Structure 1
Amino acid sequence: MAGKKLQGIGLPGSGCEWFWPGEDCRVPLDDRGLAYADGLFETLRVNHQGPVLMAEHRARLLHSAHQLEIPFGPTDFDEWQQQASQRGLLKCRAGNDQILKITLTRGSGGRGYGRPEKPRPRVLTARLQAPPIPQGSVKAQLCRYPVQVAPHRAGLKTLEKLDQVMASRELRGDVFEGLMPDSAGHIVEGTRSNLLLLLSDRHLVTPPSRSLAVQGTLRDWLIRELPTRGLRVRESALTLSMLKRAQGVAVVNSVFGVVPLAELDGVTLGQHPLLEDIRDWCAQQIGLAAGTT
């Protein structure tokens, strides 16, 4: 962020500093998110109906802040949501979807890695044009760079995402997503998504939450809601051979929904029509119209 330095815009009764799109502001150089990745983020797709899976993103952000002992609670999120709504950030024109990225840091203070005794969190909101949603199946490739998940931070969407950054540089231009292995060789997740496999008719599998660098909001929503359609979803470690034998493979996140994979490193994957049905049903249920931008 460039321009003259502002102190951030606080709200009555709030201990946070707030930074919003369109403001000429600068994050202090001693911010702990910048210095140590001491913070979290959420990425929301916003369309003409509003934010996609807002309740799930709220719950994950609050849970992650609690786990990292960053003093940001339900009242703080409600204040963010109120201000974001007043600024017109929570809706947009049909066909002009936006991305809101909420970055929460512990603020400044402390000596070295030592945390400040009374941190004042910073909340930075950025708005970007949303990427198009694929209308068909896509290509993926297996990344060489592994994801390494610290057990006590499994699933949390922290600012430390170097594994994903390094893996993403491997992707060819025509590849939609890269799939990342762990140190044991299991296929864990995409660089920006979770995995869903159709092993047999009405039986789906996704990697265990304890193995994930990011426990996606759409992943959890699907685990909860798919059984209402008579589909069984269980957690299990995935191998490369399982992906190649599966009736269908999809990558999922709340920005682009459920996207079936056509091939992995040039190998054609299963194309069961049930995954397309799940994609269309999911888009309708969460307000994520397939094919919009």
Structure 2
Amino acid sequence: MAAPSPTEPAGWPLDDRGAAYGDGLFETLLVRAGRPLLWDEHLARLARGCHALGIPMPPEHDLAAPLAEAGPGLEVLKLTLTRGSGGRGYRPPAAPAPRLRWQLAAFVPDSGRWWNGVRVRLCRLRLGLQPALAGIKHLNRLENVLARSEWQDDAIAEGLLEDAEGRLVEATAMNLFWRRHGRLETPRLGRCGVAGTLREALMGCLSLHEVDAGLEALMEAEAVWLGNSVQGVWPVAHLEDVEGRGLAVWPVGAAHRAFQAEAHALLGYPCLP
């Protein structure tokens, strides 16, 4: 395989396989005063994705190059790696020349959702089962796009996704966590879904159990959260079904704050009283 090319300016050629087929990967990470948060976890997930897709992993200095342009505040860096151009139809080139692009943008988190919790709904769309792609952040995210198109009400912060067999997986852009019978749990992601870097870091510092569970787990839960490495952790206060009917309510309290504090310490976000 050819070595990855260095970072290129914005813009995709029409024959780029990432644009044509979703043949690539991306990472979205929080940058605080030029320092990337959960950098090791992002690099590890990107490496797993490269291995799964057979794309050469770029050297770390190429991936870190955009940080030289970071400002003093809070920003989000998106790294996009494709297989590049070439091949015939779906057949990939024998020696891919990956293409790395990036975008750095100022960011302000929605702190109101930290404090007050969020309203979420179940999605009609069910995620397909594909263990070969489970856990990685590949570019083909049409399932997430279709799920997110199910509602337009800005009061609904997220949608929860089940797989084709009715197991809880994630939200459209965040991982899912809950406490049930005093135990912290999160869906197992061996069949589909994205293994978030905040989720990975929390599994290293908390007793967080991966489980196969359906909606009944949330009905038994004492507290529920959504989280990712950019937004931090949102307590879930209200859950609705696909028709907007209420299913459960969780008053935001001390249990929510304890888990949130663990996550926010990893991202430099405030721990709330």
| TM-score, with length taken from structure 1 | 0.83
Given candidates 114, 120, 133, the residue that maps to 1:135 is 114
1:241 to partner: Cα distance: 2.2
Once the two structures are superposed, residues 111-160 of structure 1 have per-residue CA deviations (whole angstroms, 9 ceiling, x without a partner) of: 11111122111001012332523332111110111111311111111001
Q: Could you tell me which residue of structure 1 aligns to residue 95 of structure 2? A: 118
1:200 to partner: Cα distance: 2.5
Structure in which a larger fraction of residues adopt strand: 2
Given candidates 209, 232, 250, the residue that maps to 1:269 is 250
Q: Could you tell me which residue of structure 2 aligns to residue 187 of structure 1? A: 168
- For residue 140 of structure 1, what is the amino acid of its counterpart? V
Given candidates 36, 56, 79, the residue that maps to 2:41 is 56
Paired with 1:193 and 1:285, the residues of 2 have a C-alpha distance of 16
1:269 to partner: Cα distance: 2.7
Give the secondary structure class of the aligned counterpart of 1:209.
coil
Given candidates 84, 107, 122, the residue that maps to 2:66 is 84
1:271 to partner: Cα distance: 4.0
Q: Could you tell me which residue of structure 2 aligns to residue 93 of structure 1? A: 72
Matched, 1:29 2:14: yes
Matched, 1:198 2:162: no
Aligned residues: 261
Matched, 1:70 2:47: no
Paired with 2:52 and 2:61, the residues of 1 have a C-alpha distance of 19
CA RMSD in angstroms comes to 2.0
Given candidates 211, 226, 230, the residue that maps to 1:236 is 211
Gaps of 5+ in 1: 1-12, 227-231
Gaps of 5+ in 2: 241-245
40-49 vs 270-279, greater mean Cα deviation:
270-279
1:272 to partner: Cα distance: 4.8
Paired with 1:49 and 1:129, the residues of 2 have a C-alpha distance of 12
Matched, 1:174 2:122: no
Q: 1:49 to 1:238 in 2, by over 3 A?
A: farther
Q: Could you tell me which residue of structure 2 aligns to residue 9 of structure 1? A: none
145-154 vs 271-280, greater mean Cα deviation:
271-280
1:275 to partner: Cα distance: 2.2
Counterpart contact for 1:17–1:120, Cα < 8 Å: no
Matched, 1:144 2:127: no
Give the secondary structure class of the aligned counterpart of 1:125.
strand
- For residue 43 of structure 1, what is the amino acid of its counterpart? T
- For residue 250 of structure 2, what is the amino acid of its counterpart? L
Paired with 2:100 and 2:270, the residues of 1 have a C-alpha distance of 29
**Runs of 4+ displaced beyond 4 Å:** none
Q: Could you tell me which residue of structure 2 aligns to residue 258 of structure 1? A: 233
| TM-score, with length taken from structure 2 | 0.89
